[in-house]
Amino acid sequence: MPEGSPITERHGRLQEAIANVVGPRHLLTDPADLAPHLTEERGRYRGRTPFLVRPGTPEETAEVVRLCAEARVPMVPQGGNTGLCGGAIPFETGDEVIVALGRLKRIRDLDAENFTITVEAGCILADLQQAAAAANRLFPLSLGAQGSCQIGGNLSTNAGGVQVLRYGNMRDLTLGLEVVLPDGRIWDGLRGLRKDNTGYDFKHLFLGAEGTLGIVTAAVLKLFARPREIVTAFVALPSPEAAVDLLGRARSATGEAVTSFELIPRLGLEMTRRRVEGCSDPLESPSPWYLLIELYGGGETGALGEALESLLSQAFEAALVTDAAIAQNAQQAADFWRLREGLVEAQKHEGGSIKHDVAVPVSKVPAFIAEATAEVQRRIPGVRPVPFGHVGDGNIHFNLSQPDGAERDAFLACSEEINEAVHDIVARFGGSFSAEHGLGRMKVAEAERLKPPIEIEMMRRLKRSFDPHNLMNPGKVVSAGHT
Number of residues in contact with ligand FAD, rule: CB under 6 A?
A: 36
Nearest approach, Cβ of residue 307 and ligand FAD (Å): 27
Query: Which C-beta is closer to ligand FAD: that of 279 or that of 304?
Result: 279
Please choose, out of 9-17, 111-119, 144-152, 285-293, the segment that lies near ligand FAD by the rule CB under 6 A.
144-152
Query: Which C-beta is closer to ligand FAD: that of 240 or that of 342?
Result: 342
Write out the binding residues for ligand FAD, residues 61-100 only, by CB under 6 A. Answer: 76-84, 87-88
Closest by CA position to 423, among listed 442, 441, 410, 408: 442
Answer for which of 38, 53, 101, 165 binds ligand FAD (CB under 6 A) is 101
Which residue's CB comes closest to ligand FAD?
153
- Cα–Cα dist 113/133, whole Å: 14
Nearest approach, Cβ of residue 120 and ligand FAD (Å): 9
Q: How far is CA 417 from CA 55, 140, 265, 429, in A?
A: 42, 37, 24, 19
Indicate the Cα dihedral angle 431, 434, 438, 443, nearest 10°. Answer: -120
Question: What x/- string results for residues 26 through 65 when contact with ligand FAD is judged by CB under 6 A?
Answer: ---------------x------------------------
Query: Which C-beta is closer to ligand FAD: that of 131 or that of 367?
Result: 131
Answer for which of 117, 121, 250, 307 binds ligand FAD (CB under 6 A) is 121
DSSP classification of residue 406 = -
Nearest approach, Cβ of residue 320 and ligand FAD (Å): 26
Please choose, out of 51-59, 146-154, 290-298, 317-325, the segment that lies near ligand FAD by the rule CB under 6 A.
146-154
Nearest approach, Cβ of residue 154 and ligand FAD (Å): 4
- Cα–Cα dist 379/308, whole Å: 41
Write out the binding residues for ligand FAD, residues 204-223 only, by CB under 6 A. Answer: 210-211, 215-216
Residue 254 burial (CB count, 10 A): 20
- Give 26's contacts (C-beta < 8 A, 6+ positions apart): 53, 54, 55, 56, 103
Query: Which ranges of 103-192 does DSSP label H, i.e. alpha helix?
Result: 125-134, 151-156, 164-167, 170-173
Q: In 3-state terms, what secondary structure has residue 97?
A: strand
Answer for which of 52, 145, 376, 450 binds ligand FAD (CB under 6 A) is 145
Query: Which ranges of 284-414 does DSSP label H, i.e. alpha helix?
Result: 303-317, 330-348, 365-379, 408-412
User: What letters, b where the CB count within 10 A reaches 16 and e where it falls short, cover 343-372?
Assistant: bbbbbeebbbbbbbbbbbebebbbebbebb
Query: Which C-beta is closer to ligand FAD: that of 101 or that of 190?
Result: 101
Pairing of strands 289-297, 357-359: unpaired
- Cα–Cα dist 325/82, whole Å: 33
Query: Which C-beta is closer to ligand FAD: that of 395 or that of 401?
Result: 395
Write out the binding residues for ligand FAD, residues 429-468 only, by CB under 6 A. Answer: 436-437, 440
Residue 211 burial (CB count, 10 A): 28
Write out the binding residues for ligand FAD, residues 147-206 only, by CB under 6 A. Answer: 149-150, 152-154, 156-157, 159-161
Residue ranges binding ligand FAD (CB under 6 A): 41, 76-84, 87-88, 101, 121, 143-145, 149-150, 152-154, 156-157, 159-161, 210-211, 215-216, 436-437, 440, 473, 476
